[in-house]
Chain A
Amino acid sequence: MMEDETFTDISGKTISLDCQSHSSFCREFTVSSPKVSIGKVMVYTCSVWLLAYAAFFITQNTAVLSSAILITLVGMMFHIHFVKVDHESLLVIGSLGIQVSSSYASGREITTFIEMSKIKDIVINEAIYMHQIIYYLCVLLKDPSEPNAVSSVVPLFQSSKPRLNCLVKVYKSCQEILSKSQ
């Protein structure tokens, strides 16, 4: 079952949610952020190079130009490798655990696996951030020796920051699986 509706994140940019149900106790949710826009890249690159040209005009030193090129390249590589998240996914396997992974624009993926015995619940929390109240989905972890206390909170979909309608969908799906396995 594949679904693709248009949701937005908290700043208003369009994101997309993809729910895949591999079996009755295994579901995967992928939230994709909007890609890097060409316009923004052009604006940044042009501004950096204009500054470099201005500096070159004043100092007449060609090292300024080459360093500007180097800075632009390194900055772009750094941005797509460490900063720009392409999609984040949540894989829930009943009675085994939850896998959270973020994949960056350069293809790098970081994955975290949380065992089912450590998961207390998945909830939607609200947070006050300056002038807005934002909702985020998070996993409540517990220590197996203390089943009633929440030991830590792991927020999900931190880079894409979807809005409440998207989160509610994911939450309902997850709860169906979690309630069966706990």
Chain B
Amino acid sequence: MVLKIFFPQCCNRADSGLLVGRWISGHDSAVVLAVIHYPFIPGQVKQYVQQVGAASGVELSVLGSWSLPKEGQEGMESFLRDLSTIFPQQRWLQIRRQMGKTGFTCEVLNRDQSKTAEEKEEEEVIFVHYEQRKVMLSQLHPIESGDAKTDPPSELRQVFQTVALSQPLFFLDKYDDGPLKSTHWQSEGREASIIVELLKQASVPLCLLLSWLLSTFLSFSSCFFCRIFNFYPLRFLSTKLSTCVQLSYRTEHMKTLSSPKPAAGHSQFMRKANMLVSVLVDVALGVLLMSWLYRDDHITMLANTLVPAADHVAKELDQLLQWLMGAPAGLKMNRALDQVLGRFFLYHIHLWISYIHLMSPFIEGILWYGGLSACLGLSFALSLLSDMVALFTFHIYCFYVYGARLYCLKIYGLSSLWRLFRGKKWNVLRQRVDSCSYDLDQLFIGTLLFTILLFLLPTTALYYLVFTLLRLVVVLFQGVLHLSVDFINSFPLFAVGLRICRSYRLAGTKPSQRQYGGPDLPDSDLQLLPRDSWLALVKKLFVGELIYPWRHKTTKSRLRIQKRGRREERGRDRIGDF
């Protein structure tokens, strides 16, 4: 059997004394935590070891003796062996070293037979030197699964756990006037930082203040805004506007941060730290943006370019519609339908332009007050920008919806009439296509309608194509903004910083999402693509179903999709069963 001894590097030059540590059960290994020097009183050593063991929850014991003789110190061998009778142990380690030589000698005395190791079955010893401070700070021991595992944790995990839990043992340094002197990584003086201690003292009242502020803000907003937002359209709007979503998200964060209880466990601590760092970085970037925005009249410049830009977009759309009403790309359109659709959309653009001109004196004020929101964070400014873009391109959204609905209806009608043309029918009960015998007049009307719809298809399809492309451009831009907001929200800056500066603190298990992100993040946070795959998106576009841009998953959107699905089913039934 191979015996493994984990020995701290700081004790390599320690004076002779007793080894204090822990035997790891089941694995035949021992972790040495500290060396208690001569002279000592055995009773006091036993009491101290018991005390520290109770305080830390680790079964500490005296493992053996350590001998590093200075000049002129001889004859310790018999003394050291006699010590094994004072501290009754199953096994007694005797580790020796000479000054100036690098080798260690280790002898193991078994209690039942006091023979040395070589005489028994070739007991070999592996000596592992570890750096105590780094092992203590790295979080290799916590086990992800909360419930107790049936088999004990692996040996290295237990080693790390032992060192990490034995913090009370490391409080005794050389300036203490107690009866015992020990050597460990902190024996030169306890390591602490004034800033960290002050922050720890200040954090509790700060947390209380923050939670009080948050509760007053929430109660105020709930009693005031709830009266307004209780109406269905406004509540629906508040879940679609990304500013409101971001606000609710940040209040959740602040609630987690301002709880005065300390974090339970390492993953909870990492989550809180990441949140705090991301909030601070967000606010810093926002203040930077504000300082740029409010200087040199940038806001007036922006406001002055906004209205001409909107005018320009409207003019371009005008020209586009005129082109579509003619013979676009050489295609021959149905003149009547073309004119109807074109005039309908032109009127919409006219309405929109008058609306923009109505709003133009207020734009600067809106921008000025909107820019103030950047003090809450860059993510707020970005989400406000995304909302403004959505509002300014609302007409494109309307056109897209009209075009898509028309096209969708046409496609469904065509598919149903095509089935009629072939003598088949969609069986709603069995969700499949069945054959059906139609009457002659049903066939006649069906074929007529089918021909009409088929020949009107290119016109509708072209309008649909153009407006879908425009809508996709806007959605793409909004998507980029949302992506950057999500990135600011959920990028684990603290963990990255720790990785760069103190990588041993992060030497944990595989960095699963649970450690950094946490399960309380909405699922759509780090999504780059729409929730369906690209193929599903293309299929939706082809059929004419409405596509929605990236948004945080709420039950409302799922309900809406279900309602739409039901409406379409009903539509299909109406067309399908002649």
Contacts and interface: CB of A to CB of B under 8 A. Distances in A.
A and B held together in a complex: yes
Interface of A: 23-26, 93-97, 115, 117-118, 144-145, 181
Contact of B154 (A24, A26, A144): A144
B2 A25 contact: yes
Contacts of B156: 97, 115
B3 to A, nearest CB: 9
A115 B151 contact: no
A96 B154 contact: no
23 contacts: A23-B124, A25-B2, A25-B124, A25-B126, A26-B126, A93-B126, A94-B2, A95-B2, A95-B4, A95-B126, A96-B4, A96-B126, A96-B128, A115-B154, A115-B155, A115-B156, A117-B155, A118-B154, A144-B151, A144-B154, A145-B149, A145-B151, A181-B2
A118 B154 CA distance: 9
Contacts of B4: 95-96
B150 interface: yes
A157 to B, nearest CB: 24
B2 A145 contact: no
Interface in B267-311: none
Among A26, A96, A97, A118, the one with the most B-chain Cβ atoms within 10 Å of its Cβ is A96
Nearest to A97: B156
A93 B124 CA distance: 12
Interface of B: 2, 4, 124, 126, 128, 149-151, 154-156
A93 B127 CA distance: 11
Given A95-B4, A117-B154, A24 B124 contact: yes
Contacts of A144: 151, 154
A164 to B, nearest CB: 31
A166 B470 CA distance: 63
A114 to B, nearest CB: 10
B155 A145 contact: no
B150 to A, nearest CB: 7
A93 B156 CA distance: 14
A24 B126 CA distance: 11
Contacts of A93: 126
Contact of A145 (B124, B126, B128, B150): B150
B96 to A, nearest CB: 19
Nearest to B2: A95
Nearest to B4: A96
Query: 6 smallest A-B Cβ distances: which pairs?
Result: A117-B154, A95-B2, A115-B156, A115-B154, A144-B151, A96-B126
Contacts of A115: 154-156
Nearest to A180: B2
Nearest to B1: A95
A97 B27 CA distance: 13
A23 to B, nearest CB: 7
A20 B212 CA distance: 66
B102 to A, nearest CB: 15
Given A23-B124, A94-B2, A95-B126, 19 more contacts: A24-B124, A25-B124, A25-B126, A26-B126, A95-B2, A95-B4, A96-B4, A96-B126, A96-B128, A115-B154, A115-B155, A115-B156, A117-B154, A117-B155, A118-B154, A144-B151, A144-B154, A145-B149, A145-B150
Of the listed residues A25, A26, A95, A117, the one surrounded by the most CB atoms of chain B closer than 10 A to its CB is A95
Contacts of A118: 154
Nearest to A24: B124
Q: Which of B4, B124, B128 has the most CB of A within 10 A?
A: B124
A117 B151 CA distance: 12
A145 B148 CA distance: 12
Nearest to A118: B154
B504 to A, nearest CB: 14
B293 to A, nearest CB: 35
A169 to B, nearest CB: 24
A110 to B, nearest CB: 13
Nearest to A23: B124
A94 B150 CA distance: 25
A94 B155 CA distance: 14
B507 to A, nearest CB: 11
A110 B4 CA distance: 25
Q: Which of B150, B151, B156 has the most A CB atoms < 10 Å from its CB?
A: B156
Nearest to A145: B151
A144 B155 CA distance: 12
A135 B124 CA distance: 35
Contacts of B154: 115, 117-118, 144
Nearest to A26: B126
A119 to B, nearest CB: 11
Nearest to B128: A96
A170 B124 CA distance: 23
Contacts of A24: 124
B144 to A, nearest CB: 13
A149 B215 CA distance: 52
A178 to B, nearest CB: 13
B416 to A, nearest CB: 52
Nearest to B154: A117
A26 B150 CA distance: 31
A115 B154 CA distance: 8
A176 B155 CA distance: 22
A145 B156 CA distance: 16
A181 B156 CA distance: 16
Contacts of A96: 4, 126, 128
A142 to B, nearest CB: 12
Contacts of B155: 115, 117
A181 B149 CA distance: 24
A145 B144 CA distance: 14
Contacts of B124: 23-25
Which of B2, B124, B151, B154 is most buried by chain A, counting CB atoms within 10 A of its CB? B2
A147 B566 CA distance: 51
A181 B128 CA distance: 17
A95 B3 CA distance: 9
A144 B156 CA distance: 13
B510 to A, nearest CB: 11
Most interface-central of B149, B150, B154 (chain A CB within 10 A): B154
